[in-house]
Structure 1
Amino acid sequence: MYCGREGVSDTADHVIARGFFLPSERVDLPKVPACTTCNNMKSHLEHHLLTILPFGARQAAAARTLNDLVPGRLARNVPLHRALLDEWNRQWQGEYAQRWTPEMKLPLDSSKVSRLCEYMMTGLAWLHWGVDLTEPTQVRASFFHPTAVRTLESLFLNERWGAKIEEDIGAGTMTYRAVQDSLAPSRTFWRFTLYGIVVGDAIGFPGVRADTIYGVSNPPQ
């Protein structure tokens, strides 16, 4: 489902990785057929992000997610563990607040989050609508400047959209909303949140903080 090549699917992939969720939340997560090459590339992204993202979790089960899932992953990935220890820093942050509050920052390549969302868009579009978003369909996901959020949210209200989806899996662990063009099935628009994390200095937006990833797919030109 990710590369669009016919006859190469030799495995199945959880579109939304089971590792994002506590064991009690892993029932009936969606799966799609995939080839080993795509599955491995997506898994590499997931293993990296599943270790880092819980540090910024803000959903209801944030503390359990961090305490129960992350220590074992760090133990199995010594280079990443060492890199996180080397690069994290604490600084006091506050703006017009009565108190300064401590905030821990960890290095995160926001392009990895965007790329994972593009994989999920492709798999979920097929699951929900039976639509193929593989090449040459154009698929793009990204963090956006907060000043653009109101405009982006207004796009969900466009009357041209037909089918609509809104899902919350694991009480805020993963949320996504999507709409599909009734006249061009491969034109879709998406919004994702992961753990409710806030990313600062996303690629292209130095100094900006964002907590939502928006995605769009368009038919080939």
Structure 2
Amino acid sequence: MGKRFKSGICAYCGAPGSTADHVFARSFFPETLRDDLPQVAACAPCNSEKSKIEHYLATILPFAGNHPLSKPMLEKQVPRRLAKNGKLHRTLAEGQVGVRWTEGATEQSSFGIPYDHDLLLGYLRYVAKGLARAHWDCTIPQHYAVSTGLVTAGQNAILRNLFVGRGAGYARGNLGDGLILYEGQQAIDDPSLTMWRFLVYGGMIFSDQDAVLDIPRDLWAITAKKPIPGLPHD
């Protein structure tokens, strides 16, 4: 562990940090694609709580992924994780449902598994704070809200217009050969006001049982002094 992490301030809660944390867990990627992941200082409690969510998501995400690497991970890594977590294995097996969605002009059908939506959005709150530290050395104040949500195709078109795409207040990342793509924008007059857009595993499919939807593929997070109306926040 580098000295800069050992003596740093936790990117997630602002307490003195004593460990180094990967903003995106190494377990989200194949072993050969784990280099150069963003890291920040984190206190032990935050690191522990975040790791619990990551263990769950590392098992769930490959099921919903569209990236070419999703299938190999689903076949090789997920069975090992499920073998160690019988409760989750039973929940997924018993909760399978039929789902339908639109892909362009074509209707698709498959099966879906249950997942904890709140855990996913809660994880993005950690990630938004971690990336702000990793890219801009910015610690988001604890009184700031972190609002998170899914972005539909129509909303994504609007959101993209808010990104300048250049300069010191813009960040982007391509991790694990495209398994996780992200971009962030930092406000000039308030460095702690940030917006992040994520494409995870090629665009995950979230759907309701037997529903045909405009499938949300992008995830996003905003750190601001006040919560964004109508969106989940911490």
Calculate the TM-score normalised by the size of structure 2. 0.81
> What residue in structure 2 maps to residue 187 of structure 1?
193
Map residues 1-221 of structure 1 onto 2, 5 A cutoff: 1-5=11-15, 7=16, 9-90=17-98, 97=106, 101-157=108-164, 163-196=169-202, 197-201=204-208, 209-219=215-225
Q: Secondary structure at the match of 2:161?
A: helix
- Kindly state the Cα deviation for residue 68 of structure 1 after the two structures are TM-superposed: 1.8
- Is the Cα–Cα contact under 8 Å of residues 50 and 126 in structure 2 kept in the other structure? yes
CA deviation profile, 1:181-202 (whole Å, cap 9, x unmatched): 122111111101211211124x
Q: Take 1:23 and 1:142, find their aligned partners in 2: how far apart are those partners?
A: 29
- Kindly state the Cα deviation for residue 208 of structure 1 after the two structures are TM-superposed: 5.2
Calculate the TM-score normalised by the size of structure 1. 0.86
- For residue 53 of structure 2, what is the amino acid of its counterpart? L
Q: Take 1:12 and 1:162, find their aligned partners in 2: how far apart are those partners?
A: 24
Q: Take 1:125 and 1:82, find their aligned partners in 2: how far apart are those partners?
A: 37
Q: Take 2:28 and 2:37, find their aligned partners in 1: how far apart are those partners?
A: 11
> How many residue pairs get matched?
213
- Kindly state the Cα deviation for residue 127 of structure 1 after the two structures are TM-superposed: 1.1
Q: Take 1:36 and 1:158, find their aligned partners in 2: how far apart are those partners?
A: 35
With over 3 angstroms needed to count, the CA separation of the structure-2 counterparts of 1:134 and 1:81, relative to structure 1, is farther
What is the percentage of aligned positions where both structures have the same residue?
Answer: 32
With over 3 angstroms needed to count, the CA separation of the structure-2 counterparts of 1:132 and 1:101, relative to structure 1, is closer
Q: Take 1:66 and 1:59, find their aligned partners in 2: how far apart are those partners?
A: 11
- For residue 119 of structure 1, what is the amino acid of its counterpart? Y
CA deviation profile, 1:56-85 (whole Å, cap 9, x unmatched): 111121221111210100001110000000
- Is the Cα–Cα contact under 8 Å of residues 12 and 126 in structure 2 kept in the other structure? yes
Q: Take 1:134 and 1:60, find their aligned partners in 2: how far apart are those partners?
A: 38
Q: Give the superposed CA RMSD.
A: 2.6
- Is the Cα–Cα contact under 8 Å of residues 23 and 131 in structure 2 kept in the other structure? yes
- Kindly state the Cα deviation for residue 149 of structure 1 after the two structures are TM-superposed: 2.1
CA deviation profile, 1:98-154 (whole Å, cap 9, x unmatched): xx7541201122222221111011111111101111411222221134432221121
- Is the Cα–Cα contact under 8 Å of residues 182 and 198 in structure 2 kept in the other structure? yes
